[in-house]
Amino acid sequence: IGHDITLYGRPSSRSMAAFQSSRTNGMVHLPDSVRLSTQLSDAVQHGEVLVISIGAQGLRSLLAELKSAQLPHTIPLILCMKGIEEDTGLRLSQVVEAVLGPEAPVAVWVGPGHVQDFTAGIPNCMVIDSKDRCLKYRLVDAFGGDLIRFYYGSDLLGNEVGAASKNVIGIAAGMLDGANLTSLKGALISRGTREISRLIGAMGGNPITAYGLGHLGDYAATVFSPYSHNRAFGEKFIRQEPYHELAEGVSTSAAMVLLAQRYGVDLPICTGVYQILQRKEDAGTVLSNLFMRSIKEEF
């Protein structure tokens, strides 16, 4: 949409190496107007805004690098990534504040969408949220275009927790696919949204945010899409097949169990995924207990 772009990637990144050699990573082709660099200082020096899209568990170390590179305090960071720090249970905007200070300008960019759809010209709706109202409005105005219609978020906590946790629900969906239990995705969607709504409310956010684009609205791209890394990971895990892409929901499942304990909220689906992945409990037994054996009120 006409902005001057510098794309930074680590020197060891295979995707960056592909961009540098052919300007494509197999999914998107970058025009010559996009500057490529493996020097973090280039992004810091040329940026009015920094959009960060990396694995969530690597955010703290990248922020430390940015701080060492003397990132100006006035440059906003947009976290185009979804996760919760596994060891601390901190939301990603909280990680930014912990490393760069409480006044660091930060926003989150969440919601449904896969690069394969965007490059095919298929539009979608997404959300930008921030505690800084002026920053939020500025970013929506700057990034909106024909492919993405942005909504102004009104609950930073809820959007961060909802966006991160939907990846755990996505893994559960893949497990159902792998176990030939796809028909249970309806129960997964309704129950999953409800348990995340309870958590958001207990943490001080708006429970209704779980039903917006950051969580429930992203289920189509996470629970059903063939492009969903988390769904694909869950399916291959059940079928005991290797999977080599990043599935954020693995680490997030541990963070969700931590938050469940911290806020006294029952998160049966997130806990079930954690039990299967982290504690190596039998997947068939856990999934059966979640969806087939227990008799419950609907909500």
Q: Which residues are catalytic?
A: 166
Distances 106 to 93, 103, 146, 211 between C-alpha atoms, Å: 7, 9, 25, 23
Q: What's the CA angle centered on 124, arms 126 and 154, to 5 degrees?
A: 20
How many C-beta atoms lie closer than 10 Å to residue 289's C-beta?
14
Residues 6+ positions from 186 with CB-CB distance below 8 Å: none
- What number of CA atoms fall less than 13 Å from residue 290's CA on the CB side? 31
Taking a C-beta distance cutoff of 8 angstroms, is the pair 257, 179 a contact?
no
